Chains A and B, each alone.
Chain A
Amino acid sequence: MKRIFFILFLIMGTNAHAGKIDVIKHSRPGGLIDRMNEVIARSLGDDFGEFIKVENCAQAKKVIETSKGKVLTAWPTEREANGSPCNLDNSHLLSTFSNSPYHITYFKDNDSAGELDNFTKGTDIIVGVWDSDFWAPPQTEYLQSINPNIKVVRYKSKPFRTALASGEIDYKVVSFPGNDPVLAIMDGNGLNPEHRFSDMGYSMMFVGNFSYDVQEVYKTTAWQERKDQTHAQWMPHLSRDEQVATVEKMLLQISEVIN
Chain B
Amino acid sequence: MIETGLVFLAGIVAGLFAGVLPGVGGVVIMTMAFPFLLQVDPVNILIFYVTMASIDQYFNGITAIVFGVPGASMNIPTQIEGHTLFRQGHGSDAITLSAVGSFIASLFAMLLVVAMLPVLWSVYGIWSSIMQSVLLGVASLVLVMISRNNKMFSIVLFCIGGVLGQVGFSEESGTAFGTLGTDLLFSGVPTLAVLTSLYVVPVLLKAYKAQSGSFDFPGVTFAGYKKAFLSMMKYYRTLIRSSFLGSLGGLVPGMSFGFSSLLAYVTEKSIRKAKGLYKVGDTHSLIACESANNAGVFTQLVPLLFLGIPITASEALIYNILEMRGLPVDIAWFQQTFTAVIGFFAVSSIIGLFLSAKYVNIIKLLNGVPMSTVYVFIFCVLLFALWQTGVSQYAGFNHLLIACLLLPVGVMLHKHDTTPLLFGFLLSEPLIDNLKRVLVIYF
Contact = CB atoms under 8 A, between A and B. Distances in A.
B317 A30 contact: yes
Interface in A37-86: 53-59, 62, 76, 78, 81, 83-85
Contacts of A153: 437, 440-441
Interface string A1-39: 110011001000000000000000110111000010000
A162 B311 contact: yes
A58 B253 contact: no
A237 interface: no
B331 interface: yes
B125 A166 contact: yes
B125 A167 contact: yes
A165 interface: yes
A161 B310 contact: yes
A161 B253 contact: yes
A55 B187 CA distance: 7
A235 interface: no
A85 B176 contact: yes
A227 B323 contact: yes
A30 B320 contact: yes
A134 B127 CA distance: 28
Given A35-B320, A153-B441, A2 B401 contact: yes
Interface string A159-177: 1011001111100000000
A80 to B, nearest CB: 11
Contacts of B440: 151-154
Contacts of B125: 166-167
B429 to A, nearest CB: 8
A154 B436 CA distance: 9
B415 to A, nearest CB: 32
Contact of B127 (A28, A109, A162, A179): A162
Given A5-B396, A29-B31, A133 B172 contact: yes
B174 interface: yes
The winner among B31, B184, B324 for most chain A CB atoms within 10 A is B324
Nearest to B181: A85
A83 B174 contact: yes
B309 to A, nearest CB: 5
A85 B309 CA distance: 33
A179 B308 CA distance: 8
A154 B253 contact: no
Contact of B316 (A30, A132, A166): A30
Given A2-B397, A2-B401, A134 B174 contact: yes
A210 interface: no
Contacts of B175: 133
B317 A29 contact: yes
Given A85-B176, A133-B174, A159 B169 contact: no
A191 to B, nearest CB: 22
A156 B172 contact: yes
B343 interface: no
A2 B184 contact: yes
A126 interface: yes
Contacts of A132: 171-173
A159 B254 contact: yes
A81 B396 contact: no
A165 B309 contact: yes
A158 interface: yes
Given A227-B323, A227-B324, A55 B124 contact: no
B22 interface: no
A28 B31 CA distance: 11
A132 B170 CA distance: 9
Given A35-B320, A109-B121, A126-B441, A179 B396 contact: no
Given A165-B124, A227-B320, A56 B187 contact: yes
A2 B398 contact: yes
Contact of A159 (B172, B253, B307, B312): B253
A142 B256 CA distance: 34
A155 interface: yes
Interface string B144-180: 0000000000000000000000000101111110000
Interface in B401-443: 401, 433-434, 436-437, 440-441
A165 B121 contact: yes
B323 A162 contact: no
B303 A161 contact: yes
The winner among B171, B175, B184, B324 for most chain A CB atoms within 10 A is B171
B183 A179 contact: no
A2 to B, nearest CB: 7
Interface string B277-321: 000000000000000000000000001000111111100110010
B212 to A, nearest CB: 37
Given A131-B172, A132-B173, A227-B320, 10 more contacts: A29-B34, A29-B317, A30-B317, A35-B320, A56-B186, A85-B169, A156-B433, A161-B309, A162-B127, A178-B308
20 contacts: A2-B396, A26-B394, A30-B313, A30-B317, A53-B394, A55-B187, A56-B187, A58-B183, A131-B433, A132-B171, A154-B436, A154-B440, A158-B311, A158-B312, A159-B433, A162-B303, A166-B127, A166-B129, A168-B129, A178-B309
